């Protein structure tokens, strides 16, 4: 009986921890839960359309896409017995046979692999064979990993959560800025950050590529010696977090990615890795699908506009047609101010009457045009 009570008590605590975070707690690989070997993103695209020849070669582990292009130009790839040297050629894996140096490739490539790595500083995200620095892909010691690559990148000085896979569709859905999967970072900077700088980061700053979409910022610690912040973004441009802080006048001294979508780094020591379960893979993809369906992301609430910027906001809204009502309300407010000036008398009354006369004239002209 005591054992049963302890079990129930423990499971209840685990459920409460999952509910507190707002998302169900993801179950890791272990026990009866097997590592993922495919994803819904890949299943939806597999054998559903024509694919580029260099992508097909890369999916089969022959080489990278760039190296595959070199093999094609060198005349080493045959499709249905004919040499193909034209880049961009598409094939149907279900009906066509591809031969590379006498080896016939399968129409359905091998199973995919999905890993999570706690990347240490000093490790680079590249598949370049001639790279002399430690590579993230070399830290995955699974003998069955095959050709894998990083999902997005962390620069050499940064550390934290990094995904690696051999599934191109999955990588695109997670890493590409247009899918908006949220990524959370723990940022440490020297000195005490100001409220104005925090607000600028929340609203978005201008980088070389344009203005950022804004970020969710939580100040964890702020002293004269240094500040610690939790920053969540949904774009993932090159070195975006570091460049944002430089833009507002601060240099990042330490950057750690702690979360991608619902997947966190907690419980995984630095330099260690593990395989992802199918449930974890699908939860990451579901994060994109919820945003695509129009659901507001929990991680990036809308920040209030700056004081005195309502006029700019109404102008921006009228341009894209989403805030026409606010523009009309602005005109009515100006009209009410002019009428108050008219009651006060003097030159303001004359100016308001002139404005009202011109508005009546414009209405008459508009009426004649309509007739």
Which has the minimum average pLDDT: 13-22, 103-112, 173-182? 13-22
Would you call 162 exposed, middle or buried from its count of C-beta atoms within 10 A (0-12, 13-18, 19+)? buried
What pLDDT band is residue 191 in, cutting at 50, 70 and 90? very high
Q: Which two tokens stand for residue 235?
A: 């774009």
Position of tokens 């095959």? 146
**pLDDT of the residue at 52:** 86
Give just the sign of the alpha carbon dihedral 25, 29, 30, 35.
positive
Which has the minimum average pLDDT: 79-88, 113-122, 218-227, 256-265? 79-88
Higher local confidence (pLDDT), 208 or 10: 208
Crossing angle for the helix pair 347-370 and 324-344, nearest 10 degrees?
A: 140
For 235-292, the pLDDT digits (tens) are: 878 889 999 999 999 999 999 999 999 999 999 999 999 999 999 999 998 875 655 5
What are the backbone angles phi and psi of residue 165, rounded to the nearest 5°?
Answer: -160, 170
CA distance 157 to 188: 13
CA distance 309 to 220: 29
Closest C-alpha among 268, 213, 337, 250 to residue 26: 268
CA distance 141 to 356: 79
- pLDDT > 70 in the chain, percent: 64
What are the backbone angles phi and psi of residue 156, rounded to the nearest 5°?
Answer: -60, -40
Find the mean pLDDT for residues 295-310: 43
3-state helix, strand, coil in the chain (%, to 5): 40, 20, 40
Higher local confidence (pLDDT), 196 or 43: 196
Average per-residue pLDDT for the chain: 75
How far apart, in Å, are the Cα atoms of 248 and each of 67, 92, 190, 367? Answer: 41, 51, 13, 52
Domains along the chain with CATH numbers: 40-105 (3.10.290.10), 114-292 (3.30.2350.10)
Higher local confidence (pLDDT), 186 or 349: 186
pLDDT above 60 for 7: no
What pLDDT band is residue 77 in, cutting at 50, 70 and 90? very high
Find the mean pLDDT for residues 341-361: 45
Provide the 3-class DSSP secondary structure of residue 259.
strand
pLDDT above 50 for 100: yes
Crossing angle for the helix pair 310-320 and 324-344, nearest 10 degrees?
A: 130
For 102-151, the pLDDT digits (tens) are: 888 876 556 789 999 999 999 999 988 889 999 999 999 999 888 899 99
Higher local confidence (pLDDT), 194 or 319: 194
**pLDDT of the residue at 322:** 40
**pLDDT of the residue at 252:** 96
- What residue spans of 151-303 are helical by DSSP H? 168-175, 195-203, 240-247, 278-292
**pLDDT of the residue at 270:** 96
Higher local confidence (pLDDT), 50 or 22: 50
Higher local confidence (pLDDT), 208 or 340: 208
CA distance 254 to 243: 13
Closest C-alpha among 283, 185, 269, 186 to residue 234: 185
Establish how many alpha carbons lie within 13 A of residue 262's alpha carbon, considering only the half-sphere containing its beta carbon. Answer: 22
**pLDDT of the residue at 42:** 60
What are the backbone angles phi and psi of residue 322, rounded to the nearest 5°?
Answer: -95, -15
Task: Please identify which of the residues 82, 101, 155, 320 carries the catalytic annotation.
Answer: 155
Crossing angle for the helix pair 240-247 and 195-203, nearest 10 degrees?
A: 130
Strand partners, 118: 161
pLDDT above 60 for 226: yes
For 30-55, the pLDDT digits (tens) are: 445 678 866 766 666 554 568 888 88
State which of 55-69, 133-147, 347-361 shows the largest mean pLDDT.
133-147
State which of 100-104, 138-142, 322-326, 334-338 shows the largest mean pLDDT.
138-142
| Contact assessment for residue 118 and residue 272, using Cβ atoms and an 8 Å cutoff | yes
Position of tokens 């606010």? 326
**pLDDT of the residue at 29:** 54
Residue 155 bears catalytic tag: yes
**DSSP E strands, the chain:** 51-52, 77-79, 82-83, 90-91, 98-100, 103-105, 114-119, 149-150, 159-165, 183-190, 206-207, 210-211, 216-222, 226-233, 254-260, 263-264, 273-275
**pLDDT of the residue at 68:** 87
Find the mean pLDDT for residues 326-345: 44
What are the backbone angles phi and psi of residue 119, rounded to the nearest 5°?
Answer: -70, 130
What pLDDT band is residue 177 in, cutting at 50, 70 and 90? confident
- pLDDT > 90 in the chain, percent: 38
Count of CB atoms within 10 A of residue 12's CB? Answer: 10
């Amino acid at each position: 009986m005591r054992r049963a009570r302890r079990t129930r008590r423990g499971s209840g605590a685990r459920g409460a921890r999952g509910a507190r975070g707002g998302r169900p707690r993801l179950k890791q690989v272990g026990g009866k839960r097997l590592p993922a070997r495919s994803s819904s993103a890949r299943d939806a695209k597999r054998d559903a359309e024509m694919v580029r020849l260099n992508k097909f070669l890369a999916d089969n582990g022959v080489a990278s896409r760039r190296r595959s292009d070199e093999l094609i130009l060198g005349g080493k790839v045959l499709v249905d017995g004919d040499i193909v040297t034209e880049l961009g050629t598409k094939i149907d894996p279900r009906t066509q046979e591809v031969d590379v140096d006498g080896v016939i490739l399968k129409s359905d490539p091998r199973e995919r692999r999905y890993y999570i790595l706690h990347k240490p500083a000093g490790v680079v995200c590249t598949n370049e064979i001639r790279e002399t620095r430690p590579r993230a892909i070399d830290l995955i010691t699974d003998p069955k990993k095959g050709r894998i690559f990083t999902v997005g990148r962390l620069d050499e000085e940064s550390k934290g959560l990094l995904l690696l896979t051999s599934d191109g569709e999955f990588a695109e859905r997670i890493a590409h800025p247009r899918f908006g999967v949220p990524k959370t970072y723990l940022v440490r900077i020297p000195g005490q950050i100001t409220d104005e700088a925090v607000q600028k980061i929340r609203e978005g700053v201008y980088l070389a590529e344009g203005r950022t979409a804004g970020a969710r910022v939580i100040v964890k610690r702020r002293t004269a010696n240094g500040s610690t912040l939790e920053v969540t973004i949904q774009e993932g441009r090159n070195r975006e977090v570091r460049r944002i802080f430089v833009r507002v006048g601060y240099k990042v001294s330490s950057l750690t990615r702690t979360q991608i979508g619902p997947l966190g780094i907690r419980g995984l020591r630095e330099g260690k890795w593990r395989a992802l379960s199918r449930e974890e893979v699908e939860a990451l993809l579901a994060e994109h699908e919820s945003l695509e369906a129009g659901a507001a992301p929990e991680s990036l609430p809308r920040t209030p506009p700056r004081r005195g910027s309502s006029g700019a906001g109404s102008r921006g809204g009228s341009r894209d047609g989403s805030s026409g009502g606010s523009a009309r309300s602005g005109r009515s407010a100006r009209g009410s101010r002019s009428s108050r000036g008219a009651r006060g008398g003097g030159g303001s009354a004359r100016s308001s009457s002139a404005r009202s006369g011109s508005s009546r004239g414009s209405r008459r002209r508009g009426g004649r045009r309509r007739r």
